Amino acid sequence: MNRVYSQITGWGCYAPERVLTNADLEKMVDTSDEWIVSRTGIRERHIAAPGEATVAMSLQASRRALEKAEISADELDLIILATSTPDYLCPPASSMLQDELGASRAGAMTLVTGCTGFLYGLITAAQFIETGAYKHVLVVGTETLSYGVDWEDRNTCVLFGDGSGAVVLSQSQTPGGLQSMLLRSEGDGWDALILPGIGSRTELTPEVIERKDHKLKMDGRRVFKFATRVMTDAVLEVLTDAGLTIDDVDLLIPHQANKRIIDLAVRRLGIAPDKVMVNIERYGNTSAASVPLALCEALAEGRIEPGDRIVMVAFGAGLTYAACVWQWQSEEVEEEPILVTNWPVPESLQLMAQEMRTAAWRMQVQARTAASDAAMAVMLPLYAFRKGVKKRLSKEE
């Protein structure tokens, strides 16, 4: 029996028309364009119109993905919608999307794993495809974060935006698709990024609203420290599992949360900046929509070719993180390789050389990571001291 591979056959994205710039935010909170750009890399973000919620945006991206895949909604076997901002806590937003699409024979489920949601969904969908259980699966990542943001909190309101991205996964006989993957969670950090006032644990009372516990809260220092560690570790692990190094990667698509986090991961991994997809300046952090939005833009810009190896990596609330190596497939069907148990010696030497190359790269990444950690350990106290001096001087004035 021929092996079945998962292939991304369609993709589409959607961002609301309204654009909120840093100049707009300067009029709303005590901030500046220079402060936001220097700390996050964000210049603008898209904000949903009144009444425009998660399902509506998902519908736009999904229709574009289905059109690109050249299939109809009733050919879908499963819909996976990744979101932390559904239209309602009940019913599932995925069922509403299924109905709007007219995907009458598809199962539907909603994944809530924060910013890693799309990758959790993509990897899950690939398993359904590669086992032969399903032929076509729609994976969507959508967030309407503007509804949960406290627009008076300058530490969070400058970060987030709204949007949606979707892909169609289909069966293929051509080798490619998912090469290696990682799904992880460090649940002891569950409260580092939280919307505490909505859920079964807390009744939504006037007191909860007065405390703004119905709005997003973030411990920025904890999230930054977690993100800078797992971004590097996750990429290192999935490439090692695939028998690859960073030199074998054609494009890295990281979660677009903070430009400084991306830059640090790029330096530690030793990847050329032109091999990294970055669009955070135009969208901000769109959580589960972040990776598919970046993937769609990379494809539109011609940055992905048949046979290219792509690494996608994300981190988010939970604290969860995920990564995968994905090989973009061509339309041509290649013959399956013939397995040989007594492989010639030159092939064994080639495999050994590859293992040594991977091990050497791992050591380089670990050394760069240790050096950057040491530098941050020195710089952070100096930064805090300088910040304290500025505060005291401003008070004296």
Choosing from 13, 22, 46, 115, the catalytic residue is 115
The upper half-sphere exposure of residue 58, i.e. CA atoms within 13 Å in the direction of its Cβ, equals 30
Is 155 annotated in the active site?
Answer: no
Q: Does the domain formed by 181-277+305-388 have CATH 3.40.47.10? A: yes
Three state DSSP letters for 273-335: HHHECCCHHHHCECHHHHHHHHHHHHHHCCCCCCCCEEEEEEEECCCEEEEEEEECCCCCCCC
Choosing from 22, 136, 157, 255, the catalytic residue is 255
Residue 232 has pLDDT above 70, yes or no: yes
Is 136 annotated in the active site?
Answer: no
Mind listing the pLDDT tens digit for each residue in 240-250? Answer: 999 999 999 99
Q: State the residue for tokens 């293929």.
A: 172
Helix (H) or strand (E) run with residue 391 in it: helix 345-396
The crossing angle, in degrees rounded to 10, of helices 290-300 and 117-130 is 70
- Strands 309-316 and 18-21: what pairing? unpaired
Q: Which two tokens stand for residue 172?
A: 């293929």
Tell me how crowded residue 6 is: count the other CB atoms within 10 A of its CB.
Answer: 24
**In CATH, what is the architecture of 5-177?**
3-Layer(aba) Sandwich (3.40)
Note whether 5-177 and 181-277+305-388 share their fold: yes
Q: Which two tokens stand for residue 207?
A: 């007191």
- pTM for the complete prediction? 0.85
> Residue 203 gets which letter from DSSP?
-
pLDDT of residue 342: 54
Q: How many angstroms separate the CA atoms of 389 and 395, rounded?
A: 10
Between CA 246 and CA 359, with CA 267 as vertex, the angle to 5 degrees is: 40
| Of 198, 196, 6, 14, nearest in space to 97 by CA | 14
- The neighbouring-strand residues paired with 79 are 108, 138
Q: State the residue for tokens 């119109």.
A: 49
Mean pLDDT of the residues in the chain: 88
Mind listing the pLDDT tens digit for each residue in 320-374? Answer: 999 999 999 876 544 555 555 555 556 556 666 666 667 776 677 767 676 666 6
Is 90 annotated in the active site?
Answer: no
Listed by start position, the domains of the chain span 5-177, 181-277+305-388
Give residue 194's pLDDT band: very low, low, confident or very high (50, 70, 90). Answer: confident
